[in-house]
């Protein structure tokens, strides 16, 4: 490691240490003082580079919050309720029969990247050997059924019509909250009575236009109220909630992670479960491919209530690069993502994929999921590129990511043209991405 890399490594470790609340890592020190489901998976990948048992602990804490249905909730609340809105009370999950009593969590989920983190933990365990290897192997054996239950719940409950696509009930479930992907479904959400609220997120960013506005938040809270009104019962939620969308990116992650979990299953002698997971992977992989617009080559979401495709130029359009499969489709997608509407846009400070294409009318340079570059996503695309033998794309993503992260702010997201760090600094999954890229 050269001096720059060493400094990046040490500062990234320090960010994870500072966010460490003991048995969970806060997603960010002020803006997000709790554990988020998919953040925790990326955090575990980063932690595994420095401390395998602590990485295991992270996923263990998340699993302790798993609902009896198999769902892994999107937020596990720490005792520090002061910095984030909506806090545990506003979720009203205490009446949800599937939530274990001792658990303080939200009532929705996020993309299932966790098996990919498990794989990283095992790989690091193998490299280190000794106690790390034993701990990693034991953890996978002991928790395999819980991860399997999570994948099964998604594949069945969230895809009752067997479309090969996962249905979500809130933009927060996608992890890409205010992406233009969700503009048309949210336009049709007409919130009823929402009790007054005071947001906390806007006081943690320098410029409030970086965040969704209060009108958007009213809708977010309305959906939460709708789900709470039926006790977060899976069937009733589907009949009640005003936001029902098949999320192509979420589905692609389920496909990729199911293959990874199948591999792990085989390694511990769970052949039958591995077979089941392979089927889930294949089913969702073809579900993702079925969304591709033949003209643009981009994957689309589907609005269940409006019965229409959602074709926006966002990073989710590259879902097939995550789920893998058809070589021709993937080659075309790789050409598009490296072309002028994306990484090849001449004005980018770092030629990394923005969350929305700079040439899309919906693009906003500084607003959250409407344009800025999110470092953890680049790691995910890098992982998928390496899996598919795409060394060149992997190297480009790695080199530029390390350059971008060299500013040492570990920002939540970056302005694409100036490279300015935005959102929360010292964001845990950004630090984790740096550690994993460094290797
Ligand atoms: C709502 C924690 C989370 C990420 C999401 C990101 C943002 C929360 C928020 O922060 O969402 O879940 O309050 O905006 O969009 O991807 O997991 O980092």
Q: pLDDT class for 125, splitting at 50, 70, 90?
A: very high
- pLDDT value of residue 64: 98
Say how many C-beta atoms besides its own lie within 10 A of residue 118's C-beta.
27
- pLDDT value of residue 108: 98
Ligand 1: which of 24, 38, 105, 172 to mutate, most ligand atoms within 8 Å of CB?
172
Residue corresponding to tokens 């709470």 = 228
Q: Is 233 assigned a catalytic role?
A: no
From the candidates 276, 301, 313, 412, give the one annotated as an active-site residue. 412
Q: Ligand 1: does its nearest atom lie under 6 Å from the Cβ of 38?
A: yes
- Tell whether the model's pLDDT for residue 244 goes beyond 80: yes
CA–CA separation, 210 vs 104, rounded Å? 29
Q: Quick one: CA torsion of 257, 283, 338, 315, rounded to 10 degrees?
A: -70
Read off the tokens for 35.
Answer: 């554990």
pLDDT in tens, 311-320: 999 999 999 9
- pLDDT value of residue 198: 87
Task: Please give the helix or strand (H or E) that residue 409 lies within, else none.
Answer: none
Vertex 46 angle, CA 379 and 421, to 5°: 60
Residues 75/37, Cβ–Cβ less than 8 Å: yes
Q: Ligand 1: does its nearest atom lie under 6 Å from the Cβ of 150?
A: no
Taking residues 131-158, report their average pLDDT. Answer: 98
Vertex 72 angle, CA 194 and 250, to 5°: 85
Q: Ligand 1: does its nearest atom lie under 6 Å from the Cβ of 177?
A: yes
- pLDDT value of residue 341: 98
375 CB contacts (<8 Å, ≥6 apart)? Answer: 401, 404, 405, 411, 413, 414, 429, 430, 433, 434
Pick from 350, 397, 406, 349: nearest CA to 376: 397
- pTM of whole model > 0.90? yes
End-to-end CA distance of the chain: 10
Q: Ligand 1: does its nearest atom lie under 6 Å from the Cβ of 216?
A: no
pLDDT in tens, 56-104: 999 999 999 999 999 999 999 998 766 789 999 999 999 999 999 999 9
- pLDDT value of residue 207: 84
DSSP string, 220-264: HHHHHHHHHHTTT-HHHHHHH-S--EEEHHHHHHHHHHHHHHHHH
User: Residue 439 class from Cβ within 10 Å (0-12 exposed, 13-18 middle, 19+ buried)?
Assistant: exposed
Residues 226/169, Cβ–Cβ less than 8 Å: no
Q: Is 121 left (phi over 0), alpha (psi -120 to 50) or beta?
A: alpha
Q: What is the mean pLDDT of the chain?
A: 97
CA–CA separation, 260 vs 183, rounded Å? 33
Q: pLDDT class for 260, splitting at 50, 70, 90?
A: very high
Residues 194/225, Cβ–Cβ less than 8 Å: yes
Taking residues 107-132, report their average pLDDT. Answer: 98
Q: Ligand 1: does its nearest atom lie under 6 Å from the Cβ of 250?
A: no
Q: Is 177 assigned a catalytic role?
A: yes
Cα–Cα distances (Å) from 108 to 43, 58, 156, 319, in that order, read 20, 19, 16, 21
- pLDDT value of residue 403: 98
Q: Quick one: CA torsion of 212, 214, 215, 219, rounded to 10 degrees?
A: 80
pLDDT in tens, 19-62: 999 999 999 998 899 999 999 999 999 999 999 999 999 999 99
Q: pLDDT class for 380, splitting at 50, 70, 90?
A: very high
Residues 219/170, Cβ–Cβ less than 8 Å: no
- Tell whether the model's pLDDT for residue 210 goes beyond 90: no
- Tell whether the model's pLDDT for residue 205 goes beyond 90: no
- Tell whether the model's pLDDT for residue 154 goes beyond 90: yes
Task: Please give the helix or strand (H or E) that residue 303 lies within, else none.
Answer: strand 301-303
């Amino acid at each position: 490691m050269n001096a720059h890399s060493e400094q990046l490594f040490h500062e990234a470790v320090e960010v994870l240490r500072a966010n460490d609340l003991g048995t969970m890592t806060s997603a960010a020190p002020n803006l997000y003082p709790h554990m988020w489901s998919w953040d925790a998976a990326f955090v575990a990948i980063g932690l595994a580079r420095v401390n395998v048992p602590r990485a295991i602990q992270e996923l263990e804490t998340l699993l302790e919050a798993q609902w009896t249905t198999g769902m892994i909730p999107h937020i596990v609340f720490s005792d520090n309720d002061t910095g984030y809105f909506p806090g545990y009370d506003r979720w009203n999950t205490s009446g949800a029969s599937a939530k274990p009593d001792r658990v303080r969590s939200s009532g929705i989920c996020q993309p299932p990247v966790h098996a990919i983190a498990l794989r990283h933990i095992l790989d690091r365990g193998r490299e280190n050997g000794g106690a790390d290897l034993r701990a990693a192997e034991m953890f996978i054996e002991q928790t395999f059924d819980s991860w399997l239950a999570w994948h099964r719940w998604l594949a069945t409950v969230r895809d009752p019509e067997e479309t090969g696509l996962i249905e979500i009930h809130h933009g927060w479930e996608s992890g890409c909250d205010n992406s233009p992907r969700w503009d048309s479904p949210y336009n049709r959400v007409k919130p009823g009575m929402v009790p007054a609220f005071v947001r906390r997120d806007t006081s943690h960013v320098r410029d409030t236009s970086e965040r969704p506005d209060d009108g958007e938040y009213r809708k977010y809270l309305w959906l939460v109220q709708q789900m709470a009104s039926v006790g977060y019962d899976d069937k009733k939620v589907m009949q009640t909630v005003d936001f029902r969308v098949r999320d192509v990116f979420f589905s692609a992650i389920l496909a990729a992670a199911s293959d990874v979990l199948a591999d792990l299953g085989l390694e511990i002698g769970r052949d039958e479960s591995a077979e089941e997971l392979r089927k889930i992977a294949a089913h969702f992989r073809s579900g993702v491919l079925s969304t591709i617009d033949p003209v643009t080559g981009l994957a689309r979401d589907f609005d269940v209530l409006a019965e229409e495709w959602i074709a926006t130029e966002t990073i989710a359009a590259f879902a097939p690069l995550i789920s893998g499969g058809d070589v021709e489709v993937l080659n075309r997608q790789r050409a598009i993502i490296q072309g002028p509407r994306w990484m090849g846009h001449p004005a980018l400070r770092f030629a990394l994929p923005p969350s929305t294409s700079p040439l899309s009318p919906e693009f906003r340079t500084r607003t959250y999921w409407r344009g800025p570059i999110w470092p953890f996503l680049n790691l995910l695309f890098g992982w998928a590129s390496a899996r598919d033998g795409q060394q060149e794309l992997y190297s480009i993503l790695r080199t530029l990511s390390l350059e971008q992260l060299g500013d040492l702010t570990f920002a939540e997201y970056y302005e694409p043209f100036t490279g300015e760090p935005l959102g929360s600094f010292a964001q845990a999954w950004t630090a984790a991405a740096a550690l994993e890229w460094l290797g």
